[in-house]
Structure 1
């Protein structure tokens, strides 16, 4: 079973890319064809820790903290639109002298990945969209607002447990207390202001009618019991992107990256290497 990546020994490069208004933290790991990993809302580069040990054997991983998240500094007030995230990633690839990459995005990162391939199609060799959506529906917004209400009432720990209730299957949570506790510790320093700003930006994002413009080979990965972004949104993306494939993880919530990490890693590596 894949174990968390050890950042104390494994990351080969952990610098910042400075722009006019913010500093983007990123890590590069491994060697091979470049793969850009884009984390979800409220997460950071560590959101891929169960993938990195397996992926670094085959690829050069570029793992940033999005604007308003993780160790990235500055660059937001109360609103971060999807196209701003995409522009930041374009700057990062230029900074790293990378022309084309394979792009993998989870949740918020999947929305950013869709915006990125639409804005910079020449940059994307392959696209992988994990438990994501082309638009924030009322159903999704209600879930995220519930997290914010929990945070306002009980702080970051209450926020974390709210995300766990909607993001993971109950049986998995019951069977994996050590991993849940690890994720809880990781979430202690979440930048709630960045979460809010990104959430407001996503609320006005609607890429449904533009899915047909995406020509990059695309794989959609989705848990069938996702309580945040319903599987129907993965099917909508699959229908909208011509030639795309959909892989559904059975008895899995919003994060197959954690719940089904072995199966997820096999599917991801197979697709990216093909």
Structure 2
């Protein structure tokens, strides 16, 4: 798997892996990269079956597969310890990494994630799957912003949305790959395993998220033994894109606090 490993901003800088959502593209994190690059050595990648890592996915593709692929790639580059920032599906991958490779993961940040797929979110995905199956990728991609962004933000950013739609059409991951990645997302369930995640977790959500109700993050926060919940009043599902000027400093400060706490706990144990 191809990954992009940025230069460390200073010796010993913590490594931060950025994991996108269902779209799978590392470019999703463009609004965060400059700000985060001052504090972390960033790792960005296109998920298997998308972008630079396009290839057919197996029928039984799972969240554990997604975690194993990227962890193996990190080890290949000599990275044995790292933090993870994940959005939606990426947040689920982050939690799977914490469960499957607990000694490697120092801290997590999960944006608009969940324990189990909410009934409302399942309905939204069913609508999107129907569009993909019956009307094709172009219709699916045309509707996609409706689930990601607030209406007022979309109205003010039409040229950007049109450019993104054209780009996504040109580099579409394929109906079969998308369906298999979506199936892995829908079957993920952390209801009984979240308590086993011992790393500190920053849980972030937006109150106006149309796709994943904000109380899903509240439930996730309550299930995790060591978590902090940050709720943004506005921004939609892709709040890190629409509200980057508020999101970025909050993320940097909260992650730094988590890592300081984690470092202190290790010292106490020693």
Q: Structure 2 length as normaliser, TM-score?
A: 0.87
Counterpart in 1 of 2:162? 181
Q: 2:220 aligns with which of 237, 240, 246?
A: 237
Counterpart in 2 of 1:92? 73
Counterpart in 2 of 1:190? 172
Counterpart in 2 of 1:61? 42
Q: 1:152 and 2:136 equivalent?
A: no
The alpha carbon displacement at 1:263 in A equals 1.2
| Corresponding residue pairs, total | 251
The alpha carbon displacement at 1:25 in A equals 2.5
Counterpart in 1 of 2:197? 214
The alpha carbon displacement at 1:271 in A equals 2.5
Q: 2:108 aligns with which of 124, 127, 130?
A: 127
The alpha carbon displacement at 1:125 in A equals 0.8
Counterpart in 2 of 1:252? 235
Contact 2:20 2:26 in 1 (8 A): yes
Contact 1:225 1:252 in 2 (8 A): yes
Counterpart in 1 of 2:6? 29
Counterpart in 2 of 1:74? 55
Contact 2:87 2:110 in 1 (8 A): yes
Counterpart in 2 of 1:161? 142
Q: Structure 1 length as normaliser, TM-score?
A: 0.86
Q: 2:121 aligns with which of 115, 140, 150?
A: 140
Q: 2:85 aligns with which of 104, 107, 116?
A: 104
Q: Distance in 2 between matches of 1:247 and 1:204?
A: 26
Q: Alignment partner of 2:58: what SS?
A: coil
The alpha carbon displacement at 1:75 in A equals 5.2
Could you tell me which runs of 5 or more consecutive residues in structure 2 were left unpaired when the two chains were aligned: 258-270
Q: Distance in 1 between matches of 2:115 and 2:46?
A: 21
Contact 2:32 2:248 in 1 (8 A): yes
Could you tell me which runs of 5 or more consecutive residues in structure 1 were left unpaired when the two chains were aligned: 1-23
More helix by share: 2
